[in-house]
Structure 1
C-alpha cells in the first residue's frame, strides 16, 4: 500500500529485564509509537479521531522476535498500513538496529464509537479527510 513511516528511538534501561534484554511487551508499546507517528505524518493524529468520538481498538496483535534488543540500542521502527477500510486498519511493523531486523509484527484494529462498539468511519466528519489521504497515496503508488 505504501503508507509507511520510520520512527527512531533509543532503548531505555526501564525497558530491559534482569538479563539486560528488552522485555517482550515493550515491542507492542513501540508499535503504538510507530502507528501514532504514521498518522501524525499523514496529518491525521489520533486526537482528530478522538474529538469525533472515534477510537481504534486493537483486536489482534502479534510479534516475532528475531534477535535480542538491549539497553541503549538505537532503533528504527518501520510502520506500514497494510490495509484500511471504513471499519478496520491493519498495520505491519519492523524493528531494526541499523540493518539488523530485530522483530516484526502486525496489529489489527477496528474503529469504535464512544460506547466501544464497532462503527463505520464513513459516518463521521473525518472520513473525507481520511479518504483523501488514501486516494492521494494510491495515486502516488501508481506513478511510473
Structure 2
C-alpha cells in the first residue's frame, strides 16, 4: 500500500534523564508522519472534524530496537497497511542516520461520528485518495 517518509531531528526536550528519547515521543513521531502523509494526499484532520468525522487512535503498538539521542537525525516511514473500511491501520519504521532500525510500530484509527461517537465507514473521498 502507500507510504511516506518524514525526516526529523531529535530536540532536547524529547529526551529523558537517561539522555534517550522518551518512549512517549515515538507515538508523536508516528503522528507527525501520518498527519503529513494525509495532508500531502489532500486530507485535513481539521476539515474532517468540521464535517463530523473523527479518527481516534484505538490501538498502538511499539517495538524498540535501539535508542535515539538529542540531535540525532532520523526518518519515520508510515505505511497504510490495508484498504480502510471502518478503520485505518498504519505500520511505522524509524531508521537512524546509520540506517539502523530504531523502532517499529503500528496504530489503528477508527472512523467515528463527532455527534453520536458511533462508528462510520471510511468516507468515499478518502478511499479515492488511497487508490
Name the TM-score, length of structure 1 as normaliser. Answer: 0.84
In structure 2, relative to structure 1, the CA distance for the partners of 1:114 and 1:23 (3 Å cut) is: same
Q: Which moved more, 1:79-88 or 1:23-32?
A: 79-88
Which residues in structure 2 correspond to 1:1-144 (within 5 Å)? 1=1, 3-98=2-97, 99-115=99-115, 117-121=117-121, 127-135=123-131
Aligned length: 130
Q: CA RMSD in A?
A: 1.4
3-state DSSP of counterpart to 1:69: coil
Distance of 1:56 and 1:84 partners within structure 2: 15
Q: Deviations over 1:60-97 (max 9, x none)?
A: 10100001110000011000110232310000110111
Distance of 2:53 and 2:61 partners within structure 1: 24
Contact in 2 for aligned 1:11/1:71 (Cα 8 Å): yes
The alpha carbon displacement at 1:120 in A equals 1.9
Q: Deviations over 1:13-69 (max 9, x none)?
A: 110011110110100111110110110111112122112111111111010000111
Distance of 1:34 and 1:111 partners within structure 2: 19
Q: Which runs of 5+ in 1 are unaligned?
A: 136-144
3-state DSSP of counterpart to 1:67: coil
Q: Which runs of 5+ in 2 are unaligned?
A: none
Q: Which has the higher helix share?
A: 1
Contact in 2 for aligned 1:9/1:75 (Cα 8 Å): yes
Contact in 1 for aligned 2:77/2:94 (Cα 8 Å): yes
Deviation >6 Å, runs of 4+: none
Contact in 2 for aligned 1:87/1:118 (Cα 8 Å): no
